[in-house]
Structure 1
Amino acid sequence: MGFEIINKATNEVFISRTIINSFIVVILLSIFVFYVNSKLKKADPHKKPTGILNIIEILVGSLNNLVNTTMGYKFKSFAPYIGTLAMYLAVSNLFGLLGFKPPTADYSVPFSLAILTFILTQYHGVKSKGLGGYIKGFLEPVWFLFPLNVIGEIANPVSLSFRLFGNIISGVIIMTLIYGALGAITPIIVPVIAPVFHSYFDIFAGLIQTFIFMMLTMVFISMATD
């Protein structure tokens, strides 16, 4: 799991690979952010951006449009959070390409992110409808469905986290089996065939799961409000 393990007999703390890899992801993203920020400070606002700034402008504009389209203009302040979530998940899911275990292949990471989505969903539900209206929503369309509505709401973070975790860990397991099978046949073909499978299980599946997690986060939060 993605937590520290304390040996009470020796007072030693064992930090799992998930925590180490998560810190590496955060450090890489921080370096990238500081680099882009330095470029922005030097850029001339009266000239058309070029290079990395042009790409960043396109990505930021696309993200803002996606948030406004999915959640509504009143939720435009969510764009930085959704963007941060997207960057962390994308880099984490693609971490297998560097020979590391993706942090999202540990269930504690997807579940923690899903809990954040759950908390934001409930907070904005209460903020938008008021406590009475929020509770009333669980009594609709008929009052005796209250237990099912509560269970359905609690199931959202579980299903959201399992969807991400299941796809990433399955890719890790399949790639491990592929490397083992190719290595047993002849190690020479590993560099030739393995990238084909990496392109799907790491790049395609990783980016798709990032987009799905983003979209479901936005949909859950916006549906909890009026």
Structure 2
Amino acid sequence: MRRIRPRFTVLITLLTALLHMVSPAHRAPWMLGRLRPASVSATPVRAKPVGQVVLSLRQFWLRHGKAWAPAVFRSALSAHPTRTPVPRRLPYPLPALPLAVSSAPPVAATHSSRASVSSLHWLAQLIQAEAGNQPFLVRLCVGDVVLNRMQAAGFPHHLRQVILQPGQFSSVSNGTFAQATPTPQTIRAAQNALSGWNPVRGDLYYYNPALPHNPWMNTLTSCQRVGAMVFCP
């Protein structure tokens, strides 16, 4: 007698379990024992819900099916394919953004002062007091003037001394500097200035023509206008 393979044995067991789950009213005549009608019970059997049948088949598969299923079939059922994200390229280059406080490069060689936390705080506070209502570029230029003075003759070579030098900044004289709180945009302007961004290289003075200022500033030459403010060497 020919021996039945294990795979067919499991398949027959699976089909038998499925037949027991189906209501007798839905079985084919040969399933009901057409030649032996007395063997069919007169008591109605309630059919199991489809969800319970599927759950039973799944439990049967987890217990017996994985032992004889091919390896490829097992891997297809047990593992879900993962998608590898494909990077999308823009048709145009991204514009250069102002440097963040945490990702700015080291201080350029044009400014000898180190971009320490203290220097950043002092410079950002002065920029906020002097030009806190101005655009980002104007704030950056104000910070550059302070750093340019550190390299020029006649001015102190320390950032704090340049800011606190008597009679140089109106916000320090009237007390606005002590009460100023730098905004994130002002902090970025100070960080970029300490990192070497210097649109007004060599300029040591600035003023706003629309506001009261020292008359001698009107005699300065080689000035350039940035926004609402004028920067001069």
Instruction: Tell me which interval the TM-score lies in, with the shorter structure as reference length.
Output: under 0.3
Larger Rg: 2
TM-score with structure 1 setting the length: 0.22
Higher relative CO (Cα under 8 Å, sequence separation at least 6) belongs to 1
TM-score with structure 2 setting the length: 0.21
